[in-house]
Amino acid sequence: MTTPSPIHVAVGVLLNAAGEVLISRRHLDSHQGGLWEFPGGKLESGEDVQCALKRELEEELGITPLRCSPLKKILYHYSDKSVLLDVWIIPQFIGEPKGLEGQAVEWRSIPTLPQREFPVASGQIIKCLSLPREIAITPDVSSFDRLQSLLQLLIGRGLKLIQLRQTQLDSAQYLDWFRRARDSCEGSGVDLILNQDPALLERCSAAGFHASASRLQQLTQRPITEDALFSASCHNLEELRKAEALGADFVSLSPVCRTEKYAEGEQLGWDKFQALADKVSLPVYALGGIRRSDSDTARFHGGHGIAGIKTFL
């Protein structure tokens, strides 16, 4: 008995100037009726995703997308069918969205999206959208006191997700520092991601695990459960596709701009960054020689946001 192919669905996440997203309510007589969803619909025979998205948005909302970039592909198996959600971010469009098929539509801020009122498969979309626009990476330091000072500085500058990178430490030392760092951040609303062995995750209550490019190549499956964040460092299309195949929640792509670590001419530049980011369906953060003022530039070129070691210091 052959397994039916999943239903390929183009999904659009429309963003307005306030950073809100558009959601619509399913009709009561439809599959999972009454729940909220992101607009879109099934691909027709021979239709590509962007054409399907344009058609569906014009039919459902009366708008025409001007620019879109891939966010994530999500395969989900319901009891009665399987769906492949092909999710795209749409930051620019022509027209004012209206429920042309009688559906209710609303603009919502991302933190207020009622995940329990969406189909289960859409939970991963909300997870992606909830990622911050900025991720800090700690430099290697000589003492925990210095690390603690850096963390407080980053917290004071509004960072909400920090990758604790201390390559000079062995596993036991790293675990000790991570636990102490987590305690020092308690109550600040900051999440810490570990950078060493993923097996340490359960022992230190980290928000997730980040794989270096070399560790990424060693992995054969997602190293942590879906309820934690899994990210990876990438420098080329091969690494991006490996991270995507392993189910990474997001990646960093570097070096975008000139840095001391890389020779002149080795940086990607913004055009190549966009070309690579557009070839995978997962959030991509620009890394390498990035300034905090580059956040809008990164988003314009298909990035989800920016990451850096010196960027926020």
Q: What is the pLDDT of residues 277-304, one digit of tens each?
A: 988 888 999 999 999 999 989 988 889 9
Determine the Cα angle at 237 with ends 269 and 166, to 5°.
Answer: 80
Query: What would the two tokens of residue 163 be?
Result: 């990758």
% of the chain beyond a pLDDT of 90? 70
pLDDT of residue 2: 54
Q: What is the pLDDT of residues 248-272, one digit of tens each?
A: 999 999 999 987 777 677 899 999 9
Q: Which domains does the chain have, with CATH numbers?
A: 7-129 (3.90.79.10), 134-308 (3.20.20.70)
Query: What would the two tokens of residue 143 be?
Result: 């003492």
Alpha-carbon distance of 283 to 244, in angstroms, equals 10
Q: How many CB atoms lie within 10 A of CB 300?
A: 15
Band (pLDDT 50/70/90 cuts) for residue 135 is: very high
Q: What is the pLDDT of residues 12-43, one digit of tens each?
A: 999 999 989 999 999 887 767 789 999 999 99
Band (pLDDT 50/70/90 cuts) for residue 3 is: low
Place of tokens 């390929």: 8
Which positions ≥6 away from 130 have C-beta within 8 Å? 110, 111
Contact 268, 290 (CB under 8 A): no
Which positions ≥6 away from 243 have C-beta within 8 Å? 211, 216, 232, 234, 251, 280, 282
Residue 205 vs residues 138, 188, 219: alpha-carbon distances, Å: 18, 15, 22
Radius of gyration of the chain from Cα atoms?
20
- What's the predicted TM-score (pTM) here? 0.81
pLDDT of residue 73: 82
Contact 253, 268 (CB under 8 A): yes
Q: How many CB atoms lie within 10 A of CB 146?
A: 13
Mean pLDDT of 120-148: 92
Q: What is the pLDDT of residues 85-110, one digit of tens each?
A: 999 999 999 999 999 999 999 999 99
% of the chain beyond a pLDDT of 70? 98
